[in-house]
Each structure stands twice: as C-alpha cells, then as structure tokens.
Amino acid sequence: MSHETESHLLSLSEAIAGLSATTQQLHRLGIEFLPVGDPEAGKVWLHEHTQRPELISPDSRTMASGPRPSSSATGAPPSVESASPNREPSSLGSELLESSNPYPEALPLADRQRRMCRLAAEVAGCTACPGLVQSRTQTVFGEGDLAAKVCFFGEAPGADEDRQGRPFVGRSGELLTRMIQACRLAREEVYILNTVKCRPPHNRNPDRDELGNCRHFFETQLELIHPEYIVCLGAVAAHTLLNSKASVGQLRGRFHVYRNSKVVVTYHPSYLLREPKAKRFAWDDLRMLMADQGVIL
C-alpha cells in the first residue's frame, strides 16, 4: 500500500471515529436527531427576522401590555411553569415533566394510527355543538406525524380549512408552514391540530361550551402523540391548554408544562400577518424551542 493511500485510510478512520464520538455526545445530551429540513426552505421567514432590523421597532419593545423579550434574548436560561395554577415557576428540569398527570405509556406507532383513525371517525360524526354543526362543511381533525416531537396547537378552522378538511391551509397556514421550516423542520414532521374541530361561523372565537365539548378530542390526540413540545398559537390555544387567562405577551418567552410536554406560547400566525412587528417575538419563541433541543438557529 502506498504511503499516500495509507494516510488517506488513516484520515478516513479518524473521521469515522470523530463522527461516532460526536453522535455519542449528542445522544448523551438527549439529541436523537439532527434537523434534516431544507435549510433554504425557511429563507423568507428567516430573512424577515434576521436581515431586516427595520422590522424591529423600538416601540414594540416597550409596549406596556405588549410582548416582552424572551429570556433567550437576555441570555438568561428559560424557566418552566406548570399548567397547574398552584405550581411555582421553576428552572428547566426533567422532574417538571413528570407532572401530576403524565401521559400514559407511549403506544407503538401502529396502535397510535389505529386509535387516531377511530378518533377521527368519531370527530367526523360529532354533533355536540349545534351552532357549529349547522354551518360546517366538514370537521378538521388535524394532521402530521403521529410520532412528532413538536405539536402546533391552533384555535379553530377557518374558511379554507373548512373547505379542505385540513388545518392551517389558508394564508395563516402558509405562514405557519414557513415558521415550521424556519425551525429546520418539515411540516410533515410535526403534528398540527386545533382546540375545536369545526369552523365557528364568521370566524368568531369558539365559545366556552364548544371548547369544553371538543376538549377530550385534542386531549386524546396529544396523549397518543406524546409530543415533547407543544406550541400554542395565540391566546385561545394557550388559555385552553394551560387553563390560564394571561395574555400571550405574559405567557410567552418561557416554558410551561402540559402533562409530559413542554409548552411554548407564541403569537397566532393570523396576528403576525396583521402585526408583522410581532414576528421577531415569535422568532425568539421558536429559537427558544429549538435551543432547548440543542438546535441553534
């Protein structure tokens, strides 16, 4: 073997050993996958947040009841708050995720698929909310990877979703897809669902009865998926999941807990379309989510 071939083989084996050590280190840190999404895909979204400082108005930082900078922006570690109103905020730790109402043991994927199909059929035939059943075209169950690490939790289907039977397919859906891609995830890798499965007429907020009637459906979906993270999009989603009345501005910027999932609260894409200045706060929230998984955006 020539000296040159020998040294190539040596550097190859060194590279393999290095890669294996890196993989082991990532596993020790709890990182089981590296993002595979197309880094180009979130370009538009990233561009708006990282390349256009003019979007960051000084006013938006000082709004009295408006968004507040996330702890990631201040360099402090994010804290975690439990959905339970009596629970004290505490530092990020796995013990918090063993909340008083943890998910039951995760089911194998085939069982999740079977149960999710049964649940979707139940939803399709549900007539619990007279005010919604009359006007809906069809129910919008939710979609995505049943083994997703991250779930995005929205409010209610709009006109486009009602027509297509899929969540977040209108204008706010396009923005949500870009937000997901900016996290270096593909839309198919996450799971997307709403607090209620039927479109409220004239896009009004779902009322208390409707939210109560539909709650067991999303609770079962989350139980089957066992997500590590749930991103609440907007106040209705956050209030419903966390039993809180605080504003998105007050809830965002730190982790909360729902069963065994860490919960991030951020602005609803339709709000972001109306208030583009708030996009930088949503971007901070997504960065906090990804940094917790060891992905620095």
Return the number of the residue (41 or 156) whose C-beta is nearest ligand SF4: 156
Q: Which of 168, 218, 229, 267 touches ligand URA by CB under 6 A?
A: 168
Quote the least distance from Cβ 195 to ligand SF4, whole Å. Answer: 9
Residues 6+ apart with CB under 8 A from 201: 131, 132, 135
Position 158 contacts ligand URA (CB under 6 A): yes
Q: Is 196 in the site for ligand SF4 (CB under 6 A)?
A: yes
42 — phi, psi (to 5°)? -90, 15
Q: Is 78 in the site for ligand URA (CB under 6 A)?
A: no
Return the residue of 175, 198, 231, 235 that touches ligand SF4, per CB under 6 A: 198
Residues 131-160 within binding reach of ligand SF4 (CB under 6 A): 132-133, 139
The listed partner (ligand SF4, ligand URA, none) that binds 67, CB under 5 to 8 Å by sort, is: none
Q: Which stretch binds ligand SF4 (CB under 6 A): 55-63, 124-132, 235-243, 281-289?
A: 124-132
155 binds, among ligand URA, ligand SF4, none (CB under 5 to 8 A by kind): ligand URA
Nearer to ligand URA among residue 145 and residue 161 (C-beta)? 161
Phi, psi of 232 (to 5 degrees): -85, 125
- The side-by-side arrangement of strands in the sheet containing 261-266 is 90-91, 79-82, 255-258, 261-266, 229-233, 150-154, 191-194, 143-144
- 284 in contact with ligand URA (CB under 6 A): no
119 near ligand SF4, rule: CB under 6 A: no
Q: Which structure tokens are listed for 70? A: 């996330």
Q: Is 210 in the site for ligand SF4 (CB under 6 A)?
A: yes
Among 154, 206, 227, 253, contact with ligand URA (rule: CB under 6 A): 154
Q: Locate all alpha helices (DSSP H) within the chain, ordered by sequence.
A: 3-28, 43-46, 58-62, 71-74, 94-97, 109-124, 130-133, 159-164, 171-182, 208-225, 235-242, 248-251, 269-274, 279-292
Query: How many residues form the binding site for ligand SF4 (CB under 6 A)?
Result: 15
Give the Cα separation of 276 and 191 in Å (integer): 25
Tally Cβ neighbours within 10 Å of residue 239: 19
Q: Rounded to an integer, what distance in angstroms lies between the CA atom of residue 241 and that of residue 154?
A: 10
Going by their DSSP bridges, the two strands 255-258 and 79-82 should be labelled as parallel
Written as one letter, the residue type at 235 is A
Closer to ligand URA by Cβ: residue 129 or 156: 156
Instruction: Give the pairing of strands 90-91 and 255-258.
Output: unpaired
Residue 104 Cβ, how far from ligand SF4 at the closest point, in Å? 23
By CB under 6 A, name the binding residues for ligand URA. 154-158, 161, 167-168, 172-173, 194
